[in-house]
Structure 1
Amino acid sequence: MKFTITTPLYYVNDKPHLGSLYTTLACDTISRFHRLEGNEVIFITGVDEHGQKILRTAESKNLTPKEHCDIICTKYKELWHLWDISYDRFVRTTDNLHKPIVESFFKIVEASGDIYIGRQQGWYCVGCEEYKDVESNSEEPICPIHNRKLEWRDEENLFFRLSKYQSQIEQLISKEGFILPKSRKNEIENFVKKGLRDFSISRVDLPWGIEVPGYKQHTFYVWFDALIGYLSALNPSGENITLNQLKSHGWPASVHVIGKDILRFHAVYWPAMLISAGLPLPAQVFGHGFLTREGQKMGKSLGNVLDPNELYHKYGQDAVRWYLLKDFQFGHDGDFQEQRFVELINNDLSNTIGNLLNRTISMSIKWFNNQTPTINHEEIAYHPLNEQLSKIIDEYRTTMSTLQISRSAELILNIATLANIYLNEKEPWAKIKDKANANEVAKDIYCVLEATRIVGVMLNPLLPQLSHRILAQLNFVIDDTHWTQSLRWGLLRTKEQLSKPIPVMQKLELQNES
């Protein structure tokens, strides 16, 4: 099965921030899971580089727009490399491959009768790159997102006949699962009920953008241009292919993962554009929440922005991935609290998972000649841990496939907790004093090690580095082509030579900023 997942094409006004990392880590996790499930994955990310905001930012730095975009784009690529993001395609809207796809898309939509010239009047936010609905008595309206004055615009634009697709969009957004989570669906339904209005797809006298073929002085509106990046990403080799041929290259998208603030563009405008162009629609649009820090919105003026590079070097990849993926319910807002972060990592990864592996390997080395215990697999086939794990694994695969990442993380931790409880109840350190209990202790230790192995396998999509460290100490390698078989009970080899355990996750200490 083909599975195509996209992050937003991040706007390169500034370097990547924690919100960009959060979205991308989530998509990376989902992509890794689907690859292990045997699906043909295309994971698309990239950057959106056109528009007036980019032009003004570049001018403020005495750079050309392209120079500015190159600098910021490099920062994104370096950051994704640092965090081991497993993307397949990285699209830039300044790529030579992007422009012909945009032009081709426009010509098809124009031939459908959905483009006309009109006049656009209203209050415009350059930061959002969109017109805002403003109360008529407001003399100096402010953008609620950027907290800056809006600019009055009155200009000739090209428009797309969004209103023509009112009924089709209503039917689409009513479909179960098209917009997730459900709270986002309610927002879009309320927006559409008010009646869809045609929207501008061009700007005039804006030199930084793709020129609209056949219309002098018009460049494509940044949103019309950027959304088509999901299509141009599917033609990285530069082949001379038609839009229809993209269907065999990974379109339609299985899921667009985006921030809730740009949901309208992806769940309303984009589907209407695709219908007009005669292309299949994405199966799902998932709008996740925003991140705050210690209850406050992050911003330069407050001096509380969390830099992904600094977080990586301060706490490491596994810790940050686990906190963002487990503690923040995907689709809802999340608050980054440093003390909770440290406590969660120490409890979940260092103690519950790490210490379980460490002490069980130590006991196996001490009591069973530096090896995993020798057992009869028939005797553990119906072991209580196996029965509990079987149900958890089934739920884990379901939650991962439905983007319930935080629940998936909880399920992994549940297995480690069950194994710890089992070990404490059985007290093998007391039983082993009587040689007559050696066989029973062997089974207890083997089953706990086997549960820990399965924890390592299940962690792989979420925390690939920690997964590798756990499985390396158990001398087990995941068979990427038979992932589900790696989750079967009883695969840990008996009489496997074990080395002295090394802590797989060091405890963190809260680091107060100077």
Structure 2
Amino acid sequence: MGEPFYITTAIAYPNGKPHIGHAYEWIAADVIARFQRAQGRDVRFQTGTDEHGLKMAQKARELGVTPRQLCDEMTEHFRAMADALNMSYDVFQRTTDEAHYRASQAIWQAMADKGDLYLDRYEGWYSVRDEAFYDESELIAGDDGVKLSPQGTPVEWQVEESWFFRLSKYQKPLLDLYEAHPEFIQPESRRNEVIRFVEGGLRDLSVSRTSFDWGVPVPGSPNHVMYVWVDALTNYLTGLGYPDKTPELEKWWPADIHLIGKDIVRFHTVYWPAFLMSADLPLPKLVFGHGFLLHRGEKMSKSLGNVVDPLELAQTFGVDSLRYFLMREVSFGNDGSYSAEAIVTRCNAELANSFGNLAQRTLSMIFKNMGGALKNELPQNNADVELLGTVGGLISAMQERFAGYDFSGGLDHWMQAVFRCNAYVDEQAPWTLRKTDPARMEAVLMTLFRAVHDLAHAVRPVVPTAIDALLDQMGSAPDARTFAAIDNTGWVSDLIASGFTLSQPTGVFPRLELPADEVA
């Protein structure tokens, strides 16, 4: 196996059904995981659900069920979404698993042994929705002067006994980390925000609660449960067997990337590394805080009536189309917007009309004019060599962008290659060559066959189902669909030697239609 690569998503809070924001993050993580596998890396991809806390207890009480019953029911909606969106995850970690209780209590004990936990009384502004305490200076004024958290959520004054973590002790170590490893927080705008926050001074952090009991019990303090961020963040270690020194822990930790929303960057880049430093554990290599996904430029909320079920979007437009649109349309790291019209317009123009049509035309002409038989070592002219060189260069540029988590930029390079192939078809006019120079027609079609093959492998991490259907038609072996296939110059000869003959092709990117209720 190749070099290990461990990627995680934020674990979703299942007090409601999944929304498009969950889908966006999980799709992006899946694209990263598939991209790394295509490069030959040995990938571990973990997602899951964050099932403890006051919000879950309140929601369960409201519904007349136990918190565990609510967790079991709602978590299945997230599993279903992950499967429906074709996520190639390896581990779905639930924080109610027995192994997670053990891991959380172990990291707590490690921090206690370091002398970094102490018992005191907490008084402060608390947001139930954010599961976070805020300083008075961080609050903003809402309507009628109501105090709100920096996220715009309601806060209430709370007083209770709490265990505290000596976060203030880690101000300098954290600033040293950010300086020594500028790549630790991405994109740069998030890094700058975090540095400013830490430079402003760190207060010790409340890490336990006594006002509810739905959580991981604090070792030696029977009336306390762990405050959500110690519990939740430890999930990244749970499946690796921590605290035991397992082969999995040795192989996969530290994580290569925690992929999260920008609203929880502080918890992952301040609290989490401080916890790990305290517990003498290695730090993750990178935390990437992506932006929000807006509906027609507006943040989604139930009151506005613009909350969209991602599974409905996937059923309406197709999973691959949704995946492609989100990775192509949104500059990763920034906020982005979507609408039904935008999905239809983008996917029809690029997937159906451009690449889909290129692939269908190429395969159809080979089937019709060459009897589906592939040919190799045909004489190439400058146009053929130039096209394959251009396609290869743009695919390399695409892969460099993907490696830096710039998916829209990478797909822009991919589309430039597709456009160049379509221009080549028009310039060479193989339908005319069929009558005037059949040998030249064959050279043109085989040049296009090679280009389509490479373009398909390049974009497979984004639209895996459609591309697999295309590569099946092209004779590509299912176990050889990695980027190495692009560099394998002998793959056409291998196909010919195997006796492969192209059958009547079928399109893999149908044109989308705007749903009737979206038509103005």
1:152 to 157, 162, 181: 157
Which residue of 1 is the match for residue 377 of structure 2?
376
- Contact 2:207/2:227 (CA < 8 Å) preserved in 1? yes
The answer to whether the Cα contact below 8 Å between 2:140 and 2:152 also exists between their aligned partners in 1 is no
Quick one: distance in 2 between partners of 1:401 and 1:478? Answer: 24
- Equivalent in 184, 201, 209 of residue 195 of structure 1: 201
- 2:173, 2:467 → 1: CA distance? 45
**Aligned equivalent of 1:503:** 507
Q: Which residue of 2 aligns with 1:466?
A: 466
Q: Is the 8 A contact 1:459 1:466 kept in 2?
A: no
State the partner residue of 1:321.
Answer: 323
Three-state SS of the structure 2 residue aligned to 1:121 is: strand
Q: Identify which of 39, 42, 45 aligns with 1:43.
A: 45
Q: How many angstroms apart in 2 are the aligned matches of 1:325 and 1:81?
A: 18
DSSP 3-state at the match of 2:43: strand
**Is 1:179 aligned to residue 185 of structure 2?**
yes
Deviation of 1:145 (Å): 3.4
1:219: how far off? Answer: 0.7
For 1:398, give the aligned amino acid.
E
CA separation of 1:76 and 1:280: change in aligned 2, threshold 3 A: same
- Once the two structures are superposed, what CA deviation does each residue of 1:271-321 show, in whole Å capped at 9, x if it has no partner? 011011000000000000001101111111111111011112111111100
Structure 2 vs 1, CA of residues 375 and 3 (structure 1 numbering), >3 Å: closer, same or farther? closer
Inter-partner Cα distance in structure 2 for 1:114 and 1:377: 71
Deviation at 1:156, TM superposition (A): 1.5
The residue identity in structure 1 corresponding to 2:506 is: I
Q: Is the 8 A contact 1:19 1:290 kept in 2?
A: yes
Deviation, 1:147, is 4.3
Maintained 8 Å contact 1:38/1:481:
no
Alpha carbons of structure 1 residues 183 and 512: separation in structure 2 relative to 1, 3 Å: farther
Q: Percent identity?
A: 36
1:168 aligns with 2:156: no
TM-score when scaled to structure 1? Answer: 0.94
**Whole-angstrom CA distance in 2 between matches of 1:480 and 1:427:** 32
Note if contact 1:51-1:129 (Cα within 8 Å) is conserved in structure 2.
yes
Q: Note if contact 1:358-1:502 (Cα within 8 Å) is conserved in structure 2.
A: yes
Instruction: Write the distance in 1 (CA, Å) between the matches of 2:8 and 2:480.
Output: 23
CA shift for structure 1 position 144: 5.3
Contact preservation (8 Å) 1:93, 1:226: yes
Instruction: Decide which moves more: 1-10 or 355-364.
Output: 355-364
| 1:3 CA drift (Å) | 0.6
Distance 1:278 1:140 in 2: 42
CA contact (8 A) 2:457 2:481 kept: no
Instruction: Give the 3-state SS of the residue equivalent to 1:145 in structure 2.
Output: coil
Corresponding letter in the other structure for 2:83: H
Q: CA deviation at 1:377?
A: 5.3
Structure 1 residue runs of 5 or longer lacking an equivalent are none
- 1:92 counterpart = 2:98: no
CA 242–378 in structure 1, closer or farther in 2 if over 3 Å, else same: farther
Q: Give 1:432 shift.
A: 2.3
Alignment partner of 2:96: what SS?
A: coil
Aligned with 1:177: secondary structure?
helix
Tell me which residue corresponds to 1:215. 221
Query: Map of 1:342-381 to 2, 5 A cutoff?
Result: 342-372=344-374, 374-376=375-377, 379=380
Distance in structure 2 (CA, Å) of the matches to 1:295 and 1:133: 30
The 3-state SS of whatever aligns with 2:86 is coil
Aligned partners of 1:480 and 1:366: how far apart in 2?
27
- Alignment-derived partner of residue 440 in structure 1: 440
Shift of 1:191: 0.7
Find 1:391's aligned residue among 387, 390, 393. Answer: 393
Distance 2:236 2:385 in 1: 48
Structure 1 residue 378, shift from structure 2 partner: 7.0
Residues 98 and 454 from structure 1, CA distance in 2 versus in 1: closer, same or farther, beyond 3 angstroms? same
Q: Is the 8 A contact 2:5 2:44 kept in 1?
A: yes
**Residue number in structure 2 paired with 1:102:** 104
Distance 1:88 1:356 in 2: 34
More moved, 392-401 vs 445-454: 392-401
Counterpart position of 2:402: 400
Could you list the per-position Cα deviations for residues 363-418 of structure 1 after superposition, in whole angstroms to 9, with x for gaps in the alignment? 2223222333x241574798112211222232222222222222222222222211
Alpha-carbon spacing, 1:171–1:389, altered in 2? closer, same or farther (3 Å): same
Structure 2 residue identity aligned to 1:220:
M
User: Superposed, which structure 2 residues align to 1:468-483 within 5 Å?
Assistant: 468-480=468-480, 483=483
Q: What's the offset of the Cα at 1:244? A: 7.9
- In the alignment, the residues of structure 2 paired with residue 147 and residue 274 of structure 1 have an alpha-carbon distance, to the nearest angstrom, of 29
Please state whether the residue corresponding to 1:11 is helix, strand or coil.
coil
Matches within 5 A, 1:269-348: 269-348=271-350
Could you tell me which residue of structure 1 aligns to residue 230 of structure 2? 224
Secondary structure of the corresponding residue to residue 221 of structure 2:
coil
Structure 2 counterpart of 1:450: 450
1:383 alignment partner, SS class:
helix
Q: SS of the counterpart of 1:98?
A: helix
> What amino acid is aligned across from residue 70 of structure 1 in structure 2?
D
Deviations 1:12-54 (A, max 9, x none): 1111111111111111111112122221211111111111111
1:156 is paired with a residue of what secondary structure? strand
SS in structure 2 opposite 1:124? strand
What's the counterpart of residue 14 of structure 2?
12
- Calculate the TM-score normalised by the size of structure 2: 0.93
The residue type equivalent to 1:460 in the other structure is R
Amino acid in the other structure paired with 2:15:
N
Give the distance between the partners of 1:47 and 1:365, measured in 2 at CA: 49
Q: 1:424-464 deviations in whole A, cap 9, x for unaligned?
A: 11112222222xx2222111111012111111111221111
Shift of 1:243: 5.7
Secondary structure of 1:412 counterpart: helix
**Residues in 2 aligned to 1:33 and 1:25: alpha-carbon distance in whole angstroms:** 12
Cα distance, 1:483 vs structure 2: 3.7
Amino acid at match of 1:259: G
Query: Offset of 1:155 from its aligned partner?
Result: 1.4
**Closer/same/farther in 2, CA of residues 243 and 104 from structure 1, 3 Å limit:** farther
Per-residue deviation at 1:491?
2.7
Corresponding letter in the other structure for 1:376: E
- The AA in structure 2 aligned to 1:455 is L
The alignment status of 1:23 with 2:25, answered yes or no, reads yes
- The one-letter code sitting in structure 2 at the alignment partner of 1:438 is P
Q: CA deviation at 1:140?
A: 3.8
Deviation per residue, 1:249-275 (Å, 9 max, x gap):
411100000000000000111001101
- Distance in 2, matches of 1:507 and 1:78, equals 26
Question: Aligned partners of 2:480 and 2:140: how far apart in 1?
Answer: 62
The SS at the match of 1:128 is coil
Q: Counterparts of 1:263-274 in structure 2 under 5 Å?
A: 263-274=265-276
The answer to whether residue 495 in structure 2 is matched with residue 491 in structure 1 is: no
